[in-house]
Structure 1
Amino acid sequence: MRNSCLAWLACGILGLTGCAGVPVDRYRAEQPALDLARYFNGTIDGWGMFQDRSGAVIKRFHVLIDASWEKRDGVDVGTLDETFSWSDGTTSRRVWTISRVDARRYVGRADDVVGDAQGEAAGNALHWRYVLALPVDGRVWNVDFDDWMFLVNDKVMLNRSEMRKFGFRLGAVTLSFSKR
């Protein structure tokens, strides 16, 4: 009995350490260096898809982002006004307010984000973590997002997000941004 409990405890610990993932510092030497205020400034187009946990593409979308930055009380604050056009003919909108905490860290807020999104940048990468209030079949589910962005060049950025609930993978969002 004791050995069985120890084995389950060891599996649990290994499972938790496996969730740690890649640290954003892994990308600190990668170029071009990502500066959110420089990239997300002006008009950006994005094309993406949502895949369920089996890998099936459930929805595709286009997002048009109107982005701008300003100084507020000495802090860089960005507004990303996102308009989504979904493959099923529906549309939606999200407005992010992003504040630069320091040279590497950002805090983001939006109406459908529960609490604050926490972001950290290094090199060409940005790692966001947040909880999204996601409407599904007439109910709202709070879903954990593990969101990575990688700057490819001054015009193109790639984005990959994993969605989880209670630690279980629900699906992924893949997105390509192109700055006009």
Structure 2
Amino acid sequence: MKNLAKRFLAITLSTLFLLGCAGPQVSQYANEKPTLDLSEYFNGTIDAYGIFTNRSGEVVKRFTVLMQASWKVADGKKVGTLDESFEYSDGTKQKRIWVITEVSPGKYVGRADDVVGDANGVAAGNALNWAYTLALPVDGTIYHVQFDDWMYLMNSKVMINKAKMSKFGIELGEVTLSFYKR
């Protein structure tokens, strides 16, 4: 019985420790300025410059993105279209078109052809956190990888984006992007 109590205590303490290691919450940034309004920042032409690093921090890919973004109101909700054209350092190109709907103040749902299901976003202050699964092509095979995507508005022209990629809870690498609004 003593061993069972010790095991229970060890499991409880381990669980509390792991919960304490949980990542940031978007609400932590509620008072940060400037305040991010997706329909304001992602409107017009935006250039982005990014890298993908593997688990050891090695830069595996570099890329640029040209984005054309616009918003409209449909059924009383703001709906944005982000048309992204990627060009990778190896010369390959990719296209992704996001349709983002503001479902309530600070809450967003996004869809794109290579996103599995919905991307769910929450914004507060200068920050936005997206969670989604991407169908990622690698050497002729499609892998479904999870993204924990954080965007931070620095000023009216610049936003920084860091996204962790994982599969089965194992971190695969990170994408780092710098957006510049023309």
- TM-score category, normalised to shorter length: over 0.9
Q: Which residue of 2 aligns with 1:56?
A: 58
How far apart, in 2, do the equivalents of 1:22 and 1:95 lie? 28
TM-score between both structures, scaled by the size of structure 1: 0.94
Which whole-Å deviations, capped at 9, do the CAs of 1:87-113 have from their partners, x for residues lacking one?
A: 011000000000001111000000000
Give unmatched runs, 5+ long, in structure 1: none
Distance change (3 Å), C-alpha of 1:137 and 1:12:
farther
Q: Distance in 2 between matches of 1:155 and 1:120?
A: 21
CA distance in 2, matches of 1:110, 1:15: 36
- RMSD after superposition: 1.7
Q: Tell me the number of residue pairs that the alignment of Structure 1 and Structure 2 aligns.
A: 180
Q: Which residue of 1 aligns with 2:167?
A: 165
Letter in 1 for 2:23: G
2:39 corresponds to: 37
Amino acid paired to 2:49: W
Q: Deviations over 1:69-97 (max 9, x none)?
A: 00111110000000000001100000000
Bigger Rg, structure 1 or 2? 2
Instruction: Give the aligned partner of residue 106 of structure 1.
Output: 108
Unpaired runs of 5+ in structure 2?
A: none
Match of 2:152 in 1: 150
Distance 1:163 1:12, change over 3 A: farther
- Mapping for residues 1-180 of structure 1, pairs under 5 Å: 2=4, 6=8, 9-10=11-12, 13-14=15-16, 16-17=18-19, 20-180=22-182
Q: Runs of 4+ in structure 1 displaced over 6 angstroms? A: none
Partner SS state of residue 13, structure 1: helix
